[in-house]
Structure 1
Amino acid sequence: MRAEKRLIHAATMWVRRQPPKVKAFLAVVSGMATLVLLRFIVHDHDNLFVAAESVHSLGISVLIYKLTKEKTCAGLSLKSQELTAIFLAVRLYCSFVMEYDIHTILDLATLATTLWVIYMIRFKLKSSYMEDKDNFAIYYVVIPCAVLALFIHPSTSHNLMNRIFWAFCVYLEAVSVLPQLQVMQNTKIVEPFTAHYVFALGVARFLSCAHWVLQVLDSRGHLLVALGYGLWPSMVLISEIVQTFILADFCYYYIKSVFGGQLVLRLPSGVV
């Protein structure tokens, strides 16, 4: 066990000494290698999407435990939760009018939980809310997402406004975690339950991204045609990839901290 820890520590130190371009290259190679592995060990790639939703639910469960048992919301971003509620509400509406299925029920449950988290932070645990650290201006992401959705949206036969709403929730979901990352960067120290929650989001995003990429490969590109024409199919994949890379750096430090036996995650400057 000690030998494994020494090996991991040596590998970690080597990666940290590399310039940013090398780190980015290693991250891309690692991601591609994981995709290849998933393609061979997971026969039905739809299961990856189910796994992503399951991991996301696990992350929310950790968040609920933190709020109910520890009676504190320190380190959590109210703005991230509000952005999450916005894109979930819009996606739930789109799901009802465009493609009602099992995911509609899952989104409804997630939205209800997110609204409960917002209520707890705003009212029940307001005294522990780090408002001064949660200083990300959400209009920096809401307005660009709305403008982008206005010009790049699905080309299906659905109502135009519904298609714009659909695109908006896809774009907003990709960046909804940014305020949470900003809070963690401002505090530099992330307590365990918040770290577990954000890491779960990172894993869920990677699995969701893997699902879309492998589905495109399996269909030999036909899935992109089914999503519509123009820039929209590419933007769906780009949004998934953006979500994954936004959280990639944090996940790296989380794993490093876990293997190092540290309960509290300390982030260096410039991680997010």
Structure 2
Amino acid sequence: MKATKRPIQAVATWVRRQPPKIKAFLAVVSGMAALVFLRFVVHDHDNLFVAAEAVHAIGISVLIYKLMKERTCAGLSLKSQELTAIFLAVRLYCSFVMEYDIHTLLDTATLVTTLWVIYMIRFKLRSSYMEDKDNFPIYYVAVPCALLSFVIHPTTVHNIINRIAWAFCVYLEAVSVLPQLRVMQNTKIVEPFTAHYVFALGVARFLSCAHWVLQVLDTRGRLLTALGYGLWPSMVLLSEIVQTFILADFCYYYVKSLVGGQLVLRLPSGVV
């Protein structure tokens, strides 16, 4: 077992010693390599979006297991869960009035479980909630997303309110994890179930981003014109990329900790 770990640990040590610009370059190269791999392995790239939603659901299931088994919500951000519930609710509204499909059912299930997590944190496990650590103001992300959605939104034939709502949920989803990252930044130690949940979010975000990027490549850019004109198509892709990079650093340390056999993830200063 040790023999198989040594090369991985050697690579991790080498990467850790590199300057930030080299690390960023390696992250971009790794992401591009993963995209190439997915393009040739997954024939129907729509399945990547379904996989992203499934991984998100798995992450929520991990939270439910944590809350039911350990009876504590320590390390979890109530504000991140509330932001998640908001963008899911708005996206469900848009799905019902604009394009009802299988994703509507998946979002409904995720919203219900997210609301249950919020209920547990707010009422059943309130005594273990780290309110002083969960100090990222929601309006820091909600207000800019709302303002941006008024300026840049789809240019389809749908009602203007529905188009603005659609843009709002896309932008809010991209930054909804920031309060959770702030909690982990404040505590510096992330217990296993919370780490599993945030890693699942990172994987889900990457799969969703890969779905959009590969769809654009497959259609040779026609997908962007189908989304409308102006800045909106570019903002959709940018939102997906932002979501992925927000969690990329955490996912690196998560994998490193997992390879090293550590059950508790310890984050160095300035990671999230």
Aligned to 2:187: 187
- Cα drift, residue 124 of structure 1: 0.1
SS of equivalent residue, structure 1 residue 199: helix
Aligned to 2:64: 64
- Cα drift, residue 63 of structure 1: 0.5
Aligned to 1:76: 76
CA contact (8 A) 2:50 2:103 kept: no
Q: Could you tell me how far apart the structure 1 residues matched to 2:178 and 2:93 are?
A: 24
Q: Could you tell me how far apart the structure 2 residues matched to 1:49 and 1:89 are?
A: 18
Q: Could you tell me how far apart the structure 1 residues matched to 2:248 and 2:82 are?
A: 22
Aligned to 1:53: 53
Aligned to 1:38: 38
Q: TM-score, normalised by structure 1?
A: 0.99
SS of equivalent residue, structure 1 residue 156: coil
Aligned to 1:202: 202
Aligned to 1:138: 138
Aligned to 2:91: 91
Q: CA RMSD in A?
A: 0.6
Q: Could you tell me how far apart the structure 2 residues matched to 1:30 and 1:107 are?
A: 30
- 1:156 and 2:156 matched: yes
SS of equivalent residue, structure 1 residue 73: coil
Q: Could you tell me how far apart the structure 2 residues matched to 1:40 and 1:111 are?
A: 33
- Cα drift, residue 194 of structure 1: 0.3
Aligned to 2:166: 166
Aligned to 1:227: 227
Matched residue type, 1:69: K
Which region of structure 1 is more displaced relative to structure 2, 102-111 or 212-221? 102-111
Matched residue type, 2:108: L
Aligned to 1:28: 28
Cα distance per residue 1:209-268 (max 9 Å; x no partner): 001000000000000000000000000000000000000000000000000000000000
Structure 2 spans left out of the alignment, 5+ residues = none
Q: Could you tell me how far apart the structure 2 residues matched to 1:54 and 1:161 are?
A: 29
Which region of structure 1 is more displaced relative to structure 2, 107-116 or 211-220? 107-116
Aligned to 1:17: 17
Aligned to 2:124: 124
- Cα drift, residue 7 of structure 1: 1.1
Q: Could you tell me how far apart the structure 2 residues matched to 1:4 and 1:238 are?
A: 38
Aligned to 1:178: 178
Q: Could you tell me how far apart the structure 2 residues matched to 1:3 and 1:70 are?
A: 35
Q: Could you tell me how far apart the structure 2 residues matched to 1:37 and 1:100 are?
A: 31
Count how many residue pairs are aligned between Structure 1 and Structure 2: 272
Aligned to 1:253: 253
- Cα drift, residue 54 of structure 1: 1.2
**Deviant stretches of 4+, over 4 Å:** none
For 1:256-271, what aligned pairs fall within 5 Å after superposition? 256-271=256-271
SS of equivalent residue, structure 1 residue 74: coil
SS of equivalent residue, structure 1 residue 203: helix
- Cα drift, residue 3 of structure 1: 2.1
Structure 1 spans left out of the alignment, 5+ residues = none
Matched residue type, 2:207: L
Aligned to 1:236: 236
Q: Could you tell me how far apart the structure 2 residues matched to 1:178 and 1:4 are?
A: 35
